[in-house]
Amino acid sequence: MIEIAEKTAYKAFGLTVSCELPLPELPQAGVEGGAADVVIKKSDLFALWSEKSVPNEDFIIQENLVMFHIPETAIFLIENGNKILFSPMEGAQEDELRLYILGTCMGTVLLHRKILPLHGSAIAIDGKVYAIVGESGAGKSTLASAFLKRGYQLLSDDVIPVAVTDENVPVVIPAYPQQKLWIESLNEFEMESSNYQPIIDRETKFAIPVQSQFAGEPLPLAGVFELVKTDQDEIELHSIQKLERFYTLFTHTYRNFFVQKSGLMDWHFSTLAKIVNKIELYQLRRPTSRFTAHDLTDLILTTLNKGETVND
């Protein structure tokens, strides 16, 4: 059963979020004068979905509007970067709703607000942010957790908000203080799974609170590491150069298939153009045959400390 309570205000992605659904992952925030940047509430979207949807398509994407349907969970609507509506299906669980609200919905809010969302984890190292991007299952969160084990701080896990200042400096905005780790990673880090909640009931991926190691203030983005799984035995680090930099950042823009249909291609390209020459970009290839998070952490820290340029 979905519990709808009085709206509570939270802080996430640099925004004040007012939500009828409890969002325990997020720190609560006061709202002056009752105003919030983003309002999240339950609504009846079934008739609108029937009117607008196309058979066999789960997404409706227009300028300043995205709707999507997750079977057995909910219909969601995001509009104008300031509103998220959801219609739960019968039997839907709150943790499933929160997963999509804090993922696809908030990623869409960022796009509508012209804040670049990258898909990955963001770590603060010596006052600068390094993003770890990659396909689902590449090991982004696991690598970020290895950095946390060494005392570094997290800014985001899953959706990384990147804003560009008036001086064309890319800055990462903190998302919220939680990681998501598969049980295999918990076991490697000797973390007891019974101490954590699964992100979805019966799931073996767990929500890991990181309040004590969360960087709460925006910091400049200094580099991006693209994590790629390979069948090779050794770890390889390669510098990403020239037009490949654009391709890498586009590929790892969160829900990048929203960009064109939302009328945001010009903005997206100009934003990437402002960023690509201000940061270091590397591809980090890791073997799938063994656990490499600690070795990858060593290699990244060595590269950053030496200021190396690694070429193919």
Read off the amino acid at residue 99. L
The residue among 224, 270, 227 whose CA lies nearest residue 249 is: 224
Contact 251, 240 (CB under 8 A): no
Instruction: Return the pLDDT at 7.
Output: 76
- Paired strand residues for 131: 122, 224
How confident is the model over 68-78, as a mean pLDDT?
96
> What is the bridge-based pairing of β-strands 83-88 and 38-42?
parallel
**Phi-psi group of 304: left, alpha or beta (phi > 0 → left; psi -120 to 50 → alpha; rest → beta):** alpha
pLDDT (tens digit, 9 = 90+) per residue, 247-272?
Answer: 999 999 999 999 999 999 999 999 99
Between CA 221 and CA 218 the distance in angstroms is 9
pLDDT > 90? residue 4: no
CB 32 within 8 A of CB 40: no
User: Which pLDDT tens digit goes with each residue over 156-196?
Assistant: 999 999 999 999 999 999 999 999 999 999 999 999 999 99
pLDDT value, residue 34:
62
pLDDT at 312 over 50: no
Which residues of the chain does CATH 3.40.50.300 include?
Answer: 116-306
Backbone φ, ψ for residue 5 (5° rounding): -110, 180
pLDDT beyond 90 at 235: yes
Q: What is the mean pLDDT of residues 231-248?
A: 95
Axis crossing angle, helix 140-149 with helix 293-306, rounded to the nearest 10: 70
CATH code of the region 116-306: 3.40.50.300
Average the pLDDT over 266-288 and give the result: 96
Q: Are 227 and 252 in contact (CB under 8 A)?
A: no
